[in-house]
Homo-oligomer: A and B are copies of this chain.
Amino acid sequence: MILITDKTIDTSKVLNSVKSNLAGASVLFVGTTRQFTGDKETIQLEYECYESMAVEKIQQLVDIAESKWNIEQCSVVHRIGVVELGEASIAVAVSTGHRKESFEAAAWLVDELKIQVPIWKKEFWADGKTEWVHPNGVPRPSPKDLNSIEGGG
């Protein structure tokens, strides 16, 4: 299941979507709105998405993950719009025969999504300021690299 939604993410549904008798392990990652970043307080987040491209990019990442690990089932759900404190902005679930692969694949999918998938976060700080998050500290891969990540895509 790949889904971009403006509704609350039902994390148990995401976990259930990767159920398989062939799997011995499932890992569910849930990203939630954190109240503090250092000493700055967040009151809510808002996510915006280039939906058609995001869905295609996520599908490419899932395809690559399935070529790198022996995955039974895999789901990625991202929420857009306002996300309140403690609510889930993202849920990634992976089931595999053995646990090492579930952990690795789920962590990799989240890492890559944060680099490659056109979704943006707006911080609403407690002091009333707002800020679109467009990270520039870490160099992001050049567009060329993005299309030639190992395994194709």
Q: Is the CB of A102 within 8 A of B34?
A: no
Does A125 make an interface contact (CB < 8 A)? no
Partner of A29, one of B11, B27, B32, B110: B27
Does A26 make an interface contact (CB < 8 A)? yes
Q: Is the CB of A32 within 8 A of B24?
A: yes
Q: Give the size range of A's interface with the partner.
A: 20 to 34
Q: Is the CB of B97 within 8 A of A19?
A: no
Residues of B within 8 A of A19 (CB): 32, 86
Contact A31/B103 with A12-B12, A15-B11, A22-B36 known, Cβ cut-off 8 Å: no
Q: Is the CB of B21 within 8 A of A25?
A: no
Does A30 make an interface contact (CB < 8 A)? yes
Residues of B within 8 A of A99 (CB): 29, 31, 107, 110
